[in-house]
Structure 1
């Protein structure tokens, strides 16, 4: 593939051209599987390149060696993305390498929940169909700055604070307003559980924290503009809570 601006031959399709400082793709789609990642480069709606990054899962020693294997795998995928310098990255599939790659990359990054593809569409096609939709504003603020309101107490202690911080880290969350604690619920021994509930007509959601017989409903203000886009944020929040082991998958 040649650079679309100066014609210089690129080492790999979609690479950023260092000769004329031009990006040759504006989006990267990654589908993580246990033994490989399929990486697809997009320029608007056109597929300009594909590559596969492979790995060998540590089946005999999933402990420390497994952690290193996932980190290295995600790092190689992240290296491929950095070569492209895209505006946006979309990813789906295996949670551990996805989470690690997201931590290593500093581009706009969207996790595509499986629930968002109920029609069975392939990941790349799903992304291509929705890239033209109005994008949501990104909130550039530290998680702690997004938390406020009359009630400052959170149930669940450190775990409750982790749940709130996990939600506050989402780029489309503007503010979290903790609510009062209701101690009249049914007891549970499963520890603190968190769940983002159905979006309202303004695109905002509620974060339910449940710890034993205590329940706390926290208002989450998002940059979504309606229920449909709010549902996309809700699905992403619940995926993040699953990754943090605060919600059942």
Structure 2
């Protein structure tokens, strides 16, 4: 067969779902890297008969790893990286939410405040009424008490506000779910020739960090251990992953 140049520049979409689910795959989002790696363990028999070198060598595969670098910080991706659970909280009116008073600092509300809507802060039983800009300011996290204002440590405050709908990720709630992963890719070096990869069992690990302050666009690295699927192996297929690529002409 004559030589055919097949260089590669890849991009595409990454899809995943919980292993064993009949649900459609969800798109992970904008990802700058997808890497599969194989770790091996070597055992070598030296040549003792003179001249050095090796008389024999064994190489055993010990692990298969997958890493995704995602740039969409949606709740599902954060939950994967933090081994968390996702729950949805609806928006609504939070009436007379009671918190201990403070003469400075942040009073954290139970839900996120819709800062585009009015917020009322009073003492117990709606008296006295505190003034925005004089006694407090408002952020999504709660009420920022202005030092020297009328809010003190002596009494509770009642806060009435409109809350925004939120996705809540409770971190470190599970041992990492198993996913099926599909890479629906294109080789830009070959006029967009398709490259599709199926990973049967990918067990999520914990992200090393969740960087929340910075000057650059954030990146969330999602590590996976690729585990053996014995059913695929019994069917004569790879028990780990499979690569499909278009035959180039």
TM-score with structure 2 setting the length: 0.23
More helix by share: 1
TM-score with structure 1 setting the length: 0.23
Bigger radius of gyration: 2
Higher relative contact order (CA 8 A, sep 6+): 2
More strand by share: 2
